[in-house]
Structure 1
Amino acid sequence: MQILNFPLYEFRFKNSENKLYIFDIVRKKFVSLTPEEWVRQHTIQFLLKEKKYPQSLMNVEKQIQVNQLTKRYDIVVYRSDGSIFLAVECKAPQVKITQQIFDQIARYNMTLKAENLMVTNGLHHIFYQIDYVNQKYVFLEELPDFYK
């Protein structure tokens, strides 16, 4: 797999029927290792190890309803009160981060109402907050520290 713009992390892998799987510590199971999953697993490790976000408040690949359509978000970090601190959209490294990707997470966020958003393809990471009062994005140099 491609080297990404994250620190190096250790992962558990298994091979079954000529297919490679990676262990997701949040979902507590092996999942098929696709380029997007490689980015997702690195992002999870980054949030846990570098940002110290609590694993117990993290959710991965859950369904949500967006405009009567069923969608799946990549990663969400909750606060203990149930509000969403962070929503993350992961793409494979070869996928360029475009306005279309921002529009996708913005649509998801109409349901999620996350305070912070992250978009990454593993090579480029973009962090921003939603200013709900002025209805605009505020881009950040890095993700904020977690607070409950």
Structure 2
Amino acid sequence: MQPLAFPPYEFRFKNTKNKPGVFDVIRKKFVVLTPEEWVRQHCVHYLHQDKGYPLSLINVEKQLEVSGLKKRYDVVVFHPDGKIRVLVECKAPSVAITQDTFDQIARYNLALNADLLMVTNGLAHYYCQLDYTAGRYNFLPELPVYN
């Protein structure tokens, strides 16, 4: 897999039925290693190792309902009280981050009400803090550390 704009992390790999897999520390199992999964796994390690978010508060690839449609988010980080601190949308490195990507995460956030958003394709990362009172996003230079 190609190098990404994240610090280097240690991953466990294995092949199953001629498909490469990577161990997901959240789901505690090997998952098929697609380009998007490569980004998602880096993101999980970044949130935990570099930003200090406990693994117990991180969740990946769960279903949600948006306007009556079933969707799946990539990564969320919860507050200890169950509210969502960070919502992350991961794309494969070959997928450009566009307005459509921000529209997608904004639609998901209608159902989730996260404090922070992160959009990444592994090469470019964007972070926003939501100001629900003013109804706008405030872009941040980096994601805040866990506190």
Task: Identify the TM-score tier after normalising by the shorter chain.
Answer: over 0.9
Partner deviation per Cα, 1:68-114 (whole Å, 9 max, x = no partner): 00000000000011111000000000100000000000000000100
TM-score, normalization: structure 2? Answer: 0.99
What is the RMSD of the two structures over their aligned residues, measured on CA atoms?
0.5
Residue equivalent to 1:22 = 22
Q: Distance in 1 between matches of 2:21 and 2:40?
A: 13
Is it true that 1:143 corresponds to 2:138 in the alignment?
no
Residue equivalent to 2:123 = 123
Q: Distance in 1 between matches of 2:8 and 2:70?
A: 34
Q: Distance in 2 between matches of 1:36 and 1:46?
A: 15
Residue equivalent to 1:85 = 85
Letter in 2 for 1:109: N
Q: Distance in 2 between matches of 1:7 and 1:145?
A: 16
Q: Distance in 1 between matches of 2:35 and 2:136?
A: 31
What SS does the aligned partner of 2:40 have? helix
Runs of 4+ in 1 over 6 A off after TM superposition: none
Question: Structure 1 unaligned runs (5+)?
Answer: none
Q: Distance in 1 between matches of 2:91 and 2:77?
A: 18
Question: Structure 2 unaligned runs (5+)?
Answer: none
Q: Distance in 1 between matches of 2:15 and 2:133?
A: 49
Residue equivalent to 2:67 = 67
Letter in 2 for 1:125: H
1:131 Cα deviation from its structure 2 partner: 0.6
What SS does the aligned partner of 2:37 have? helix
Worse-matched range after superposition: 15-24 or 95-104: 15-24
What SS does the aligned partner of 1:107 have? helix
Q: Distance in 1 between matches of 2:92 and 2:55?
A: 23
Percent of aligned pairs with the same residue? 61
